[in-house]
Amino acid sequence: MNPLNASADIITHIKEHRSVREYEKREISEKDLTKILESGIRASSSGNMQAYSIIVTKDINIRKELYPHHFNQEMVMDAPVLLTFCADFNRMRKWLDISNAPENFDNFMSFMIGSIDATLASQNCALAAESLGLGVCYMGTTLANAHKIGEVLNLPKNVVPIVGFSLGYPKGVTNKKDRLPLSSIVHEEKYQDYTTSEIQEIYREREQSGMKRYKDVRELNEKIEAGHIENLAQVYTKIKYTKESHELYSRNLFEYLKEQNFFN
């Protein structure tokens, strides 16, 4: 493998990512699926403990059960495969148990370790899938409704869903999403906090393109026209992500962590 060509390809490939919400009616071969999953388990994991599990759901009946918990996002039904990456210390704790080793990993730190492990593995799977011509769409509902999804997927104690995505062949071409300027995400040496004028500058382009996009959504445009929504920031916390919804998800998730033996 020529490292120069490889680097050009991989970085180009990474930058070509877009979320795919519409899928062809076409199965994924077992061979490709295995390549994707094998890529997942090569990701770094804390102490090489691999504190995660990957659940591959194809059965239409199970996906039907998951559908409302993913807030009826059509990808759940339309894509042939759903991958759910879970923080998992169940496997490890069973091994400790039969090895007469002191128990551990039933605490918040362990939940976070498993979450990070699961997320790193998911991104390897996503990039591997995209290199095979497949598309993915991450669904934040995996975590927002972790307790309900965990129930459908039969998760035992010390296992919690963290990230998940639909997986399949893209129907048509989706546009790449905008990103905030690199310089607004990156800090040199230490964190440099933002002034008001820097914040205005950082969000200027997104503000313009975002409002234009939302004006095309009739329901949203009515609110914009009626003056209930003045700008894109208000679209975020008046409509898409309200404080009430996030406080509810927070409580549910925290309760579920206790239930799943990750917070004693």
- By CB under 8 A, the residues from 47 to 106 that bind its own copies are 47-50, 52-59, 62, 86, 90-92, 94-96, 98-105
Instruction: Name residues contacting its own copies, limited to 129-168 (CB under 8 A).
Output: 131-133, 136, 138, 140, 143-144, 152-156, 159, 162-163
Size of the site for its own copies (CB under 8 A): 123
For tokens 């206790």, name the residue.
258
Cα dihedral across residues 114, 118, 121, 123: positive or negative: negative
Compute the distance between CA of residue 159 and CA of residue 57 in angstroms, rounded to an integer. 17
**Beta carbons of 22 and 80 less than 8 angstroms apart:** no
**Beta carbons of 167 and 80 less than 8 angstroms apart:** yes
Ramachandran angles phi, psi of 59, nearest 5°:
-50, 120
Asked whether position 28 contacts its own copies by CB under 8 A, the answer is no
For its own copies, the binding residue among 124, 166, 260, 261 (CB under 8 A) is 124
For tokens 């759940």, name the residue.
76
Nearer to its own copies, 13 or 25 (CB): 13
Compute the distance between CA of residue 36 and CA of residue 131 in angstroms, rounded to an integer. 9
Instruction: Name residues contacting its own copies, limited to 200-259 (CB under 8 A).
Output: 200, 202-203, 230-234, 236-238, 240-243, 246-247, 249-250, 253-254
Nearest approach, Cβ of residue 137 and its own copies (Å): 8
Span from 1-9, 21-29, 166-174, 217-225 in contact with its own copies (CB under 8 A): 1-9
Compute the distance between CA of residue 31 and CA of residue 227 in angstroms, rounded to an integer. 53
Within 8 A by CB and 6+ apart from 188, the residues are none
For its own copies, the binding residue among 7, 72, 208, 209 (CB under 8 A) is 7
Ramachandran angles phi, psi of 105, nearest 5°:
70, 25
Give the residue among 80, 75, 86 at the shortest CA–CA distance from 137: 75
Asked whether position 120 contacts its own copies by CB under 8 A, the answer is yes
Nearer to its own copies, 72 or 200 (CB): 200
Span from 21-29, 72-80, 166-174, 183-191 in contact with its own copies (CB under 8 A): 183-191
Nearest approach, Cβ of residue 94 and its own copies (Å): 5
Nearest approach, Cβ of residue 78 and its own copies (Å): 18
Nearer to its own copies, 47 or 172 (CB): 47
Ramachandran angles phi, psi of 193, nearest 5°:
-70, 160
